[in-house]
Amino acid sequence: MTREEFIQILINENINHMEIGGKIIVTSYNVDLGVKSLPPGVEFTNPGYVYLDSLESIPPDTKFKNGRSLSLYSLKSIPKEIVFENGTVIWLDSLGINSNQWEGNLEGINTRRIINKMIELGLFDRR
């Protein structure tokens, strides 16, 4: 998807955003979009959730710094450069991960840290 197409979708869906230094920064409280791809340089810094359940691929420079849950239901791979910095739960259903109820949870260790380490090791990178 091109930057222009994505910006038009944000406008059509009344999702607040701004463009700073070549990045598209999404700021609406909650974000729920039915897109299959994102352009490079998107950052989600909104205070609420981000649901991108139709997303099939993700550029390596995408940032998730939203305040609440993140749902990427259809995502089949995650580039090694991705780091989840969202506030609460991560749903990666097609990869078998729900960070609330995942068998990989270790007591005393934030599940997001475990998932980020797995991404860093390339366990979900199937490009």
The pLDDT averaged over each successive group of 10 residues in the chain (127 residues) is: 97 98 97 97 98 96 96 93 92 80 66 87 81
Determine, yes or no, domain membership for 98.
Answer: yes
> Are residues 46 and 31 in contact, defined by beta-carbon separation less than 8 angstroms?
yes
Residue 47: give the domain boundaries: 3-120
Please state, in angstroms and rounded to a whole number, the distance separating the CA atoms of residues 25 and 66: 11
Number of domains in the chain: 1
Determine, yes or no, domain membership for 125.
Answer: no
**pLDDT value, residue 101:** 66
- Between strands 23-26 and 97-98, the pairing is unpaired
Determine, yes or no, domain membership for 126.
Answer: no
Determine, yes or no, domain membership for 32.
Answer: yes
**pLDDT value, residue 36:** 96
Our measurement of the distance from residue 114's CA atom to the centroid of its chain's CA atoms, rounded to an integer in Å, reads 16
Our measurement of the distance from residue 127's CA atom to the centroid of its chain's CA atoms, rounded to an integer in Å, reads 17
Residues with Cβ within 8 Å of 102's Cβ and at least 6 positions away in sequence, in order, are 111
C-alpha angle with apex 42: 36 to 46, nearest 5 degrees? 100
User: Which three-class secondary structure state does DSSP give residue 102?
Assistant: coil
Please state, in angstroms and rounded to a whole number, the distance separating the CA atoms of residues 108 and 117: 16
Determine, yes or no, domain membership for 79.
Answer: yes
Determine, yes or no, domain membership for 53.
Answer: yes
Determine, yes or no, domain membership for 108.
Answer: yes
**pLDDT value, residue 114:** 83
CA distances from 19 to 22, 53, 82, 90 (A): 6, 24, 20, 26
Q: What is this structure's pTM?
A: 0.90
